[in-house]
Amino acid sequence: MRIDILTIFPEMFENVLSSSMLGRAAAKGILEFHAHNIRDYSDNKHRNTDDYPFGGGAGMVMLAQPIFDCIDAVTHECGDDTKIRRIVMSPRGKCLTPELAMELAKEDNLLILAGHYEGIDERVMELMDDEVSIGDYVLTGGELPAMVLIDCLSRFIPGVLGSSESTEDESFSGSGLLEYPQYTRPAVFRGREVPAVLLNGNHAEINKWRRQQALIKTKAMRPDLLEKAELTKKDLEFLNRLESETKPE
């Protein structure tokens, strides 16, 4: 997959895209990253990328011209006939979910616009296929959300993770539950012991324990997820039993 990022701070992406799993995926040729400085495409002698909003108001608005020209350059570089899915990071966009990440991971070419300032000229937004938000809050720019999006979707691209099973048991994946607790060596640390069930080699019992712990975690931390989670009859019986045990007498 080729990912082109349009930003006025390309240096913010250098370490992120060259480190850890993203860096290894790029080294293997699974992912290809290109960060483009929007400022380089400004036809203003001062290389401005923003101006005051029509109608007044606080803040500055990103200019359409340098972004349009940057998109044109990326399109030509990729091949004018290449299908490129264009995404802008925006707090008004649809929320990033595992389903959306999996959908985007199937694309061959992504263009991600990381906006800045108060907003982006709406004529740019009309060029985009998707507006994506990483949560109901506002940041100083779209660079960090773009990194989150790239990291999230890359996990669903074959070969990026070390194990094909890594995404299946994670929070929000598969069943829609939060992930169960994880432990590693030593079995006892400062008097705190690993649950015995994880040490007995009985995989059926381990799977049962993990499922129940995922239900407990989800009920405690994100009960809203239980409403749309894929629950079995045994899950419901366990939750009902859990509910009755926690009710005050």
Q: What is the pLDDT of residues 92-108, one digit of tens each?
A: 999 999 999 999 999 99
Q: How far apart are CA 239 and CA 168, in angstroms?
A: 22
pTM for the complete prediction?
0.89
pLDDT score of 76: 98
- Cβ pair 21, 50 in contact under 8 A: no
Q: First-to-last CA distance in the chain?
A: 58
Q: Which of 175, 57, 75 is nearest to 119 (CA)?
A: 57
Quickly count: other Cβ atoms within 10 Å of residue 242's Cβ. 15
Can you tell me the distance from the alpha carbon of 192 to that of 222, in angstroms, rounded to the nearest whole number? Answer: 26
- Asked whether residue 168 carries a pLDDT value surpassing 80, the answer given is no
Q: Does residue 165 surpass a pLDDT of 80?
A: no
